[in-house]
């Protein structure tokens, strides 16, 4: 998200800083929503770990991954700390449901935030994820519209991005549940390098713009944004 507005830097540093702060906060809120919904789902399936780790009612920072937040602030695509399913307790489907709870939570929050936009109470200030307006430059109503617009876009982007079969995203964790047991050791080794590979993939996608990753995510995000806001 921030990278698409890098042209602000030479002419309006203050606007770029405002945008950077709002993107970072929006990314953090988005990852917290995803992690919290997963923690609730894990608790429903009888896993005591989220409550013990303070991820159910405790510090929201426990849901955040610093690298994932930094990447999301710059690109719009990031990740939080995943909530694993209860290993071996209730079969595969609880793990699938827990992984899916994150994207569903982001979709729910985005549609709730979009309700005032659809009702005409707020303007739709950010029409697409790669074309950001100058934020917080108008009155209070426009400022609120900017913040709400960023939160909507970040939540929708994250919901779609999470569905991809890339570690440590929900799509990959769903796929990993169905891997044969003999692939477990290879899977664990891959997990250690997964964030690095994901950062490299996102970076390459922007360099090769329009990359395959962004071209896959953007149409679905724009369709969901139109459905949510009516624009």
Residue of higher predicted confidence among 5 and 73: 73
Nearest to 151 by CA among 21, 57, 23: 23
3-state DSSP assignment of residue 132: coil
Say which residue, 224 or 76, is predicted with more confidence: 224
Distance of CA 140 to the CA centre of its chain: 26
pLDDT of 62-115, one tens digit each?
899 999 999 999 888 999 988 876 655 556 788 889 999 999 999 999 999 999
Mean pLDDT of 160-172: 87
pLDDT of 138 reads: 57
Amino acid 128: pLDDT:
45
* Residue pair 135/25 in contact by the 8 Å Cβ criterion: no
End-to-end CA distance of the chain: 20
Q: Take residue 207 and report the two structure tokens written for it.
A: 């360099």
Is the pLDDT score of 56 beyond 70? yes
Distances 69 to 52, 153, 213, 227 between C-alpha atoms, Å:
24, 15, 18, 27
Task: Tell me what pLDDT residue 130 has.
Answer: 45
Q: What is the percentage of the chain residues whose pLDDT exceeds 90? A: 34
Question: pLDDT of 114-154, one tens digit each?
Answer: 999 999 988 886 644 444 544 555 566 677 888 898 999 99
Residues 6+ apart with CB under 8 A from 134: 8, 12, 15, 19
Average pLDDT value for the chain:
82
- What is the mean pLDDT of the segment spanning 163-175? 84
Q: How far apart are CA 150 and CA 20, in angstroms?
A: 11
All residues at 6 or more sequence positions from 45 whose CB lies less than 8 Å from its CB, including other chains? 85, 86, 89, 90, 94, 97, 98
Report the C-alpha gap between 231 and 227 in whole angstroms. 7
Determine the pLDDT at residue 125.
65
With beta carbons less than 8 A apart as the criterion, state whether 32 and 56 touch. no
In this prediction, residue 183 has a pLDDT band, given cuts at 50, 70 and 90, of low
Question: From CA 158, how far away is CA 163, in angstroms rounded?
Answer: 9
């Amino acid at each position: 998200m921030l990278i698409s507005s890098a042209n602000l830097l030479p002419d309006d540093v203050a606007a770029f800083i405002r945008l950077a702060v709002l993107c970072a906060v929006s990314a953090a809120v988005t990852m917290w929503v995803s992690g919290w919904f997963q923690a609730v789902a894990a608790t429903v399936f009888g896993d005591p770990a989220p409550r013990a780790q303070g991820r159910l009612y405790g510090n929201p920072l426990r849901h955040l991954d610093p690298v994932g937040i930094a990447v999301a602030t710059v690109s719009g695509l990031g990740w939080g700390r995943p909530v694993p399913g209860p290993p071996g307790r209730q079969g595969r489907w609880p793990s699938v449901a827990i992984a899916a709870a994150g994207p569903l939570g982001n979709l729910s929050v985005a549609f709730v935030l979009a309700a005032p936009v659809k009702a005409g109470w707020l303007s739709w200030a950010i029409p697409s994820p790669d074309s950001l307006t100058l934020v917080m430059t108008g009155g209070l109503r426009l400022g609120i519209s900017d913040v709400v617009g960023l939160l909507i876009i970040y939540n929708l982007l994250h919901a779609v991005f999470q569905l991809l079969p890339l570690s440590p995203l929900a799509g990959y964790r769903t796929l990993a549940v169905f891997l044969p047991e003999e692939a477990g050791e290879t899977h664990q080794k891959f997990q250690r390098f997964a964030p690095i590979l994901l950062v490299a993939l996102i970076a390459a996608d922007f360099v090769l713009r329009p990359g395959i990753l962004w071209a896959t995510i953007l149409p679905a995000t724009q369709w969901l944004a139109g459905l949510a806001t009516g624009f």
